[in-house]
Structure 1
Amino acid sequence: MANLTILDWIVVIFFLTLFIFIGIRFRGKAGSSLTDFFLGGRNMPWYLAGVSMVATTFAADTPLWVTEKIAQHGISGNWLWWNMLIGGMLTTFFFARMWRRANILTELELLELRYSGPIARLLRGVKAVYLGLFLNVVIIAWVNAALISIIEVFFEVPYETAFWVVTCVMFLVLIYSSIAGLLGIAITDFAQFIIAMTGCIILAVIVLNAPEVGGVEGLKAKLPAWRLSFFPKIDGAGDALIGTFSLTTGAFLSYIFLQWWASWYPGAEPGGGGYISQRMMGAKDEKNAVYSSLFFQIAHYALRPWPWIIVGLCALVLYPDLPVEESRKGFIMVMRDYLPDGIKGLLFVGFLSAYMSTISTQLNWGSSYLTNDLYKRFIKKEDQFENEEKAQKHYVFAGRLITIFVMLVGLGVTTQITTIDSAAQFLIASGAGLGMVLILRWYWWRINAWSELVATIAPFIGLAFAKFVLPSYVPETFYTNNGDFIFTVLFTTISWLTVTFLTSPTDGETLKRFYDRVQPGGFWRYYRGDENNNRLTPYLFVSWLSGVLMVYSILFFMGYFIFEEWTLFYTWLALAIIGFVALRWGMKKAEI
């Protein structure tokens, strides 16, 4: 293929071979049981689990999406995902220890630990298909579409050729992920993340210092000031196609006070979930679970974005005629046009690494639900085997076959994903209002299986009503204030609250068993003994809020350092130090 020299191809082949070698190297640690295959034997240190979380959220689509937001709204457009730090840090301090303490194989296994009766079994089966297959293949297709775009632009080949290249890469991922299980995936993630971030940092430095850009001063001179603003404009006219990320008061309040707890989104699930909870459940112990999640919040929100942002801004200078709807391609064009031989191959491997780390996790995670919570629970139960050893080997084999199935469905759905942004908006909208149930099921005994089932279904009904019925009855300002999202959250919340009080609670024996194992705080007065699990709650709140302050402050002082805004740099550096000191105090008091 054009644009890569022999040196570049040597780099590409070397690292792809390394990834396959890691998978083969750890094949023996994944084949004995489902716990080994899907949780790495529950023995991962915090840094391995944490880096694996970060690597998974660094998909091939992520820098492209950030570039698209910068083309539309400048740096401030990143608040569309920066706001989710609040919920992520909540997961770190209020849920990480409980996920590890629950001693379950998958997130969905929690449902029958927490709820009782036929509805709990139904909920587990429905969510196994909904999350493990339906939403999972949307994410896989979304990531595939991004890599296809990269290959189309980078190598200047047609869509069909790029699609088949991605298919081949996906088969490579299938080989090592199905052989090595989660431990091998996590170790591969570690290597892939280092490669991907190193490549992005090198790219940012090279393109920023290109003569056409002229360094930081050149960037400031050639772009309007609003492009470099870190914060959205409040009380604006709404989210215009191009311009500072402008929010009405209603939209701003929905981002700050609603979205981070109300919406289900991959990597930012309220209360934890998906591959985030999978890594926490696979950690060595509760402390490693907390530290893995804390590292993820810091790296994901504060350390990782700036190379992408710099490249996105430089792309605006280098390709001023690139249409906004194609702006995500600017990142790839910078790679193609400005990297020297060898480094170009390294960054291409970096994007392949980002892609492979995400796809390997999605295949393993989705397969864990379909294997443990559908096949094992309802189709081929353990009591049908002579002994546990035979059962476990059979389930691992079934998990590998299901991984292949998920991959094939994901490839089929890939052809239906038109834009990265549309997939992201769909995922956020389809979970609006579900988040509060996912949080309260740990802290309030009255939440039952009906609550969660209704909260899973209601967003689709509420969203459809807001999109197709309400426009005839509400003014346009309703939507500029993010009214459709707010309506969906309120509709979902009213629905699950109503159903909760109209249906019977989970039976007392199940609630007592859940409480004794997980030891949650909150409202469990009928089931706790003399212990007071709420005594640490004030310190958990201090840890949560100071952690949010620290990470945002790190994000901003790094940005102001890059742009040589020294007064603001020192201000945010001081706030980061204050946040760190308060965080350490809170964690010590919370016995973390």
Structure 2
Amino acid sequence: MLATIDWVIIAAYLLFSLIIGLWVARQAGQNSTQFFAAGKNMPWWLLGISMVATTFSTDTPNLVANIVRTDGVSGNWVWWAFLLTGMLTVFVYANLWKRSGVLTDVEFYELRYSGKMAAFLRGFRSIYLGLVFNVIVMATVSLAAIKISGVLMGLSPVETVVIGGIVTVIYSTLGGLRGVLLTDFFQFFLAIGGSLIAAYVALNHPQVGGLEGLLTHENVVGQLNILPDFSDPAQALGIFIIPLAVQWWSVYYPGSEPGGGGYIAQRMFAAKDEENSIAAVFFFNAAHYALRPWPWIIVGLCSLIVFPDIASLKEAFPNASGVADHDMGYPAMLTFIPTGWLGLVVASLTAAYMSTISTHLNWGSSYLVNDFYKRFISPDSSEKELVMVGRISTVVLMIIAGIFALLLQNALESFQIILQIGAGTGLLFILRWFWWRINAGSEIAAMVISFAVAMYFQFGHVHTGLPALTGWQELVVGVVVTTIGWVAVTFMTRPTDKETLIHFCEVARPGGPGWQKVIKDAESENRDLEPLKDEAWRVPQGILCMVLGCIAIYGTLFATGYWIYGRWILASLITAVVVGASGFLYKAWRKLIEIQPEEELY
């Protein structure tokens, strides 16, 4: 349990976060752009670090530990596959989002589509994402905090939700996005340091016996493979082939949206220019996939030796037995950290929790205020009123998320539910920038169908008498059904208004063959959209950068693992590949920038 010095360290961090919120409160309260987009003048390094801190949540190491304990290291491909999405966002979509000039990605709907359906989509999506979807994610994060505090602090679930929620809400409502970014900067380094301490202590546990003892233990040897066992088709399909072949482009998941979106888009909107937007998202993906996973993986592997099954976790932590599952392996190993260091690690986990929750509070509130309240309830509202409504909605979101967190049991379970809800919508989010025919009806259909399929698999299939499907089978069915549905609706409904399409091309300049009809329509009206013809060439070069970026980051991930495993020759070869791919990426990236100089566009 925590000693006095540990509590002092945690309290000092919480006080520091509140001071930052107070420091920037006045500037954040000037207008809605300051509160939700930090004035749109932030540098890439601050935005990139903030993205990493946001995705480094209390539930993330728990989720990774759960995966490692049940499916081995290779099981992490269910989220490693999203690097493909991230790199596509970096080199194809980041500059497009920044050009759009919107405050939220939901506002994008009335820039891209027209009519009452576009307005309905914007309003409905603001509630669906800002309230429903957002609350599910925050509840999952809070569930992890409940398990960690139950193990390390002896707090009840209600105490955890109330204490954590109050502190986070205070500095989130005061500082807006600027306060979130500044606290994220410090939270990033604290969280990284805490995970390294946790891995070091776990390796030195007497039952583990250091790195050599870990890698040779019978409970761990079968879990070490970075790639799955291809002699077992069921495993290879579920954790590797389907994520890389289908999941990354077809599924909407917060932080990994195909084509960008959510709080990643919010950070891009806050960048000072397109180059800072692109660099921020690249840094995020590099750090998220290559820098952070191995400390979590090591702790998860160590937990298999000390707590080999759920029964051992329940026996060791009777006060948390009601929520004990494999994802408790990570916080269980933290109990062996000595006094002082334990306070620092708990502070790092507190930082991880606060960074994620504060981002989701501000992001969700931006939808509710900008895309629902201002758009539909009070169009003439003043900037001060919008900030006030934003602060109120922040508090309401936290209360709802806290209540929902008390009903959840497992982080991996909620992760899979979220994946299924978004199954099949990803391709639409990718294509809507490059195919004029996609309309608001397409998006509404994708959203409704994917949700209906997810609810069927979660609650309805037990009443049909049909055989149960595995997780990846449900995902594929959801993708196929949803994709067929939204494509059919696209051709059955009216296209977007011609004037709206032309205006979108003028603002975002997406380019590509999918916009040739719009360009011809504009030319028939003597409107010059000539730069769009050149923009089409950015995409092939962007995809080349995407491939090279994936090779460099995946290579770094693999090389780190094989260095840890002591496989020197393989680690050296992969490291050489990383160096080569990074060199080619640098050249390809520079060429991408030179393809369309900014001054030629005006």
TM-score, length-scaled by structure 1:
0.93
Does 2:507 align with 1:517? yes
2:236 — aligned with what?
Answer: 247
Deviation at 1:247, TM superposition (A): 2.4
Q: Secondary structure at the match of 1:26?
A: helix
2:320 — aligned with what?
Answer: none
Q: Output one character per residue of 1:24-46: Cα deviation in whole Å (capped at 9) or x when no partner.
A: 11112211111100000001111
> How far apart, in 2, do the equivalents of 1:79 and 1:581 lie?
26
Deviation at 1:530, TM superposition (A): 2.5
Q: Output one character per residue of 1:149-196: Cα deviation in whole Å (capped at 9) or x when no partner.
A: 111111334xxx332233122111111111101011011011111111
> How far apart, in 2, do the equivalents of 1:541 and 1:44 lie?
26
Q: Residues 483 and 9 (structure 1 numbering): CA distance in 2 closer, same or farther, change over 3 Å? A: closer
> How far apart, in 2, do the equivalents of 1:53 and 1:92 lie?
13
The answer to whether the 8 A contact 1:275-1:361 is kept is yes
- The correspondence for 1:457, drawn from 448, 455, 459, is 448
- The correspondence for 1:277, drawn from 230, 253, 265, is 265
The answer to whether the 8 A contact 1:116-1:510 is kept is yes
2:247 — aligned with what?
Answer: 259
Q: Structure 2 regions of 5+ residues with no counterpart?
A: 314-323, 520-528, 595-602
> How far apart, in 1, do the equivalents of 2:412 and 2:112 lie?
35
The answer to whether the 8 A contact 1:23-1:184 is kept is yes
- The correspondence for 1:231, drawn from 227, 231, 235, is 227
The answer to whether the 8 A contact 1:136-1:366 is kept is yes
- The correspondence for 2:412, drawn from 401, 421, 424, is 421
Does 2:182 align with 1:187? yes
1:556 — aligned with what?
Answer: 558
> How far apart, in 2, do the equivalents of 1:120 and 1:298 lie?
35
Q: Output one character per residue of 1:424-472: Cα deviation in whole Å (capped at 9) or x when no partner.
A: 1110000110111111111111110000110111112334556745997
Q: Residues 569 and 269 (structure 1 numbering): CA distance in 2 closer, same or farther, change over 3 Å? A: same
The answer to whether the 8 A contact 1:8-1:346 is kept is yes
Higher mean alpha-carbon deviation, 293-302 vs 222-231, is at: 222-231
TM-score, length-scaled by structure 2:
0.91
> How far apart, in 1, do the equivalents of 2:478 and 2:370 lie?
32
Q: Output one character per residue of 1:517-574: Cα deviation in whole Å (capped at 9) or x when no partner.
A: 1011221113333332112222111100000111000001111112211011112101
- The correspondence for 1:578, drawn from 573, 577, 580, is 580
Code of the aligned partner of 2:581: G
Deviation at 1:474, TM superposition (A): 7.1
The answer to whether the 8 A contact 1:542-1:582 is kept is no
The answer to whether the 8 A contact 1:247-1:481 is kept is no
Q: Residues 315 and 124 (structure 1 numbering): CA distance in 2 closer, same or farther, change over 3 Å? A: same
Code of the aligned partner of 1:430: I
1:142 — aligned with what?
Answer: 140
Deviation at 1:15, TM superposition (A): 1.0
Does 2:304 align with 1:316? yes
The answer to whether the 8 A contact 2:421-2:453 is kept is no
2:548 — aligned with what?
Answer: 546
2:99 — aligned with what?
Answer: 101
Q: How does 1:449-488 map to 2 (within 5 A)?
A: 449-464=440-455, 468=460, 479-480=469-470, 482-488=472-478
Deviation at 1:214, TM superposition (A): 1.9
> How far apart, in 2, do the equivalents of 1:87 and 1:281 lie?
19
Q: Percent identity?
A: 40
The answer to whether the 8 A contact 2:417-2:454 is kept is no
- The correspondence for 2:164, drawn from 166, 169, 190, is 169
Q: Residues 448 and 169 (structure 1 numbering): CA distance in 2 closer, same or farther, change over 3 Å? A: same
Q: Residues 516 and 5 (structure 1 numbering): CA distance in 2 closer, same or farther, change over 3 Å? A: same
The answer to whether the 8 A contact 1:271-1:439 is kept is yes
2:352 — aligned with what?
Answer: 354
> How far apart, in 1, do the equivalents of 2:25 and 2:535 lie?
41
Q: Residues 320 and 275 (structure 1 numbering): CA distance in 2 closer, same or farther, change over 3 Å? A: same
1:331 — aligned with what?
Answer: 330
> How far apart, in 2, do the equivalents of 1:184 and 1:466 lie?
40
- The correspondence for 2:276, drawn from 288, 304, 312, is 288
Q: Secondary structure at the match of 2:108?
A: helix
Q: Residues 85 and 471 (structure 1 numbering): CA distance in 2 closer, same or farther, change over 3 Å? A: farther
Q: Residues 19 and 463 (structure 1 numbering): CA distance in 2 closer, same or farther, change over 3 Å? A: closer
Deviation at 1:258, TM superposition (A): 1.0
Does 2:485 align with 1:491? no
Q: Residues 29 and 227 (structure 1 numbering): CA distance in 2 closer, same or farther, change over 3 Å? A: same
Q: Residues 481 and 156 (structure 1 numbering): CA distance in 2 closer, same or farther, change over 3 Å? A: closer
- The correspondence for 2:425, drawn from 422, 434, 438, is 434
Q: Residues 237 and 481 (structure 1 numbering): CA distance in 2 closer, same or farther, change over 3 Å? A: farther
Q: How does 1:367-382 map to 2 (within 5 A)?
A: 367-382=365-380
Code of the aligned partner of 1:449: A
Q: Output one character per residue of 1:327-372: Cα deviation in whole Å (capped at 9) or x when no partner.
A: 22222122112x1211000000011100000110111000000000
> How far apart, in 1, do the equivalents of 2:367 and 2:439 lie?
21
Root-mean-square deviation (Å)? 1.8
Question: How many residues matched?
Answer: 569
Higher mean alpha-carbon deviation, 19-28 vs 212-221, is at: 212-221
1:216 — aligned with what?
Answer: 211
Deviation at 1:118, TM superposition (A): 0.4
The answer to whether the 8 A contact 1:192-1:357 is kept is yes
Q: Secondary structure at the match of 2:535?
A: coil
Deviation at 1:251, TM superposition (A): 6.9
Higher mean alpha-carbon deviation, 504-513 vs 408-417, is at: 408-417
The answer to whether the 8 A contact 1:237-1:480 is kept is no
